Amino acid sequence: MTKQLRLMAVHAHPDDESSKGAATMAKYVSEGVDVLVVTCTGGERGSILNPKLQGDAYIEENIHEVRAKEMAEAREILGVRQEWLGFVDSGLPEGDPLPPLPEGCFGLQDVEAAAEPLVALIRSFKPHVITTYDENGGYPHPDHIMTHKISMVAYEAAGDPERYPDAGEPWTPLKLYYNQGFNRPRTVALHEALLARGLESPYGEWLERWDEMERVGRTLTTFVPCAEFFPVRDKALIAHATQIDPEGGWFRVPMDVQQEVWPTEDYELAQSRVQTSIPESDLFAGIRDNDRYE
């Protein structure tokens, strides 16, 4: 009997799975890995970012249902399974000072309590590897930061029979990664490649403001080659029609340039219970031939 590897990707909103690590997931699915996306919220407070759909009364009144349908289409494209944790989107507060978060939203939940449904999913799905966000959330959206917090609690607690005793039989995941796809080396490489080809780069302003808008000091440890699945990633992203403009900035870099210049999706190894060597090219490095691989 062939053992099956299992990957769990924990995300804040529907569409996050398609913009962060989607090509990696599609690659592993093609290799027979069982992949489960966990979506913490329904994206109920997300804005309609596609200008072609702005002002659509039906979408505005039924945004939760619309985004659930978009998620269903994206997961079919990627070939993954998906579960909702059922928390309510916090929205992205704006202003100075920032307004308080809405009552009952994900960002205001007690971390220990909010981690329990994720612990239950870990124990039932039994992932070997979990991906999530770093302590800054990738960017400081309250739902992304809360996703990080519950992921860290769940990773540590899932294998402990004394914690969350009503959440199923214990299971100990072996590795946890932070998504780091929006990193400076990749952005610089694409920016310079576009200029060298005489093409316009969408990254100039980003790089000028990088130190203000990005966290610093991240360590890239793991580079998963998945360029052939970039088109699948983009198709899944476009399925989230309310969130993505097919003619917008996401798609301004020609596919052949992306595949040639930066053919990987990148991660930061945050926790590991197996030995591995850095840098890695596989999220399952140290697991495939490990005696603890079940």
How does pLDDT run across 206-235, given as a tens digit for each residue? 888 876 665 556 899 999 999 999 999 999
Per the prediction, the chain carries an average pLDDT of 93
Query: Is the distance from CB of 123 to CB of 157 less than 8 angstroms?
Result: no
Q: What percent of the chain has pLDDT over 70?
A: 96
Alpha helices in 86-202 (DSSP H): 111-125, 142-157, 184-196
Domain that holds residue 128: 6-272
CA distance 25 to 243: 20
Q: Tokens 């360590």, residue?
A: 219
Residue 153 lies in a domain: yes
Residue 17 lies in a domain: yes
Residue 278 lies in a domain: no
Residue 291 lies in a domain: no
Residue 101: which CATH number?
3.40.50.10320
Highest-pLDDT range among 53-67, 103-117, 237-251:
103-117
CA distance 45 to 14: 12
**Least confidently predicted of 39-48, 77-86, 209-218:** 209-218
Q: How many domains does the chain have?
A: 1
Residue 283 lies in a domain: no
Annotated binding site: 13, 16, 144
Residue 119 main-chain phi, psi, to 5 deg: -55, -45
Residues 6+ apart with CB under 8 A from 276: 175, 269, 285, 286
Please state the rounded mean pLDDT for residues 173-179.
Answer: 98
CA distance 248 to 135: 28
| Beta strand pairing call for 81-87 and 129-132 | unpaired
Long-range pairs, 273-281, Cβ under 8 A, ≥24: 273/172, 273/173, 273/174, 273/175, 274/174, 274/175, 276/175, 278/221, 278/222, 279/220, 279/221, 279/222, 279/223, 280/221, 280/222, 280/223, 281/222, 281/223, 281/224, 281/225
pLDDT grade for 1, boundaries at 50, 70 and 90: very low
Residue 277 lies in a domain: no
Annotated binding site for Zn(2+): 13, 16, 144
Q: What percent of the chain has pLDDT over 90?
A: 81
CA distance 170 to 179: 25
Structure tokens, 55: 């002002």
Distances 286 to 129, 157, 174, 178 between C-alpha atoms, Å: 11, 22, 9, 17
**Least confidently predicted of 11-15, 95-99, 117-121:** 95-99
Structure tokens, 184: 């400076």
Q: Tokens 């992921």, residue?
A: 151
Query: Is the distance from CB of 227 to CB of 266 less than 8 angstroms?
Result: no
Residue 245 lies in a domain: yes
**Least confidently predicted of 127-141, 147-161, 203-217, 232-246:** 203-217
Residue 284 lies in a domain: no
CA distance 175 to 157: 14
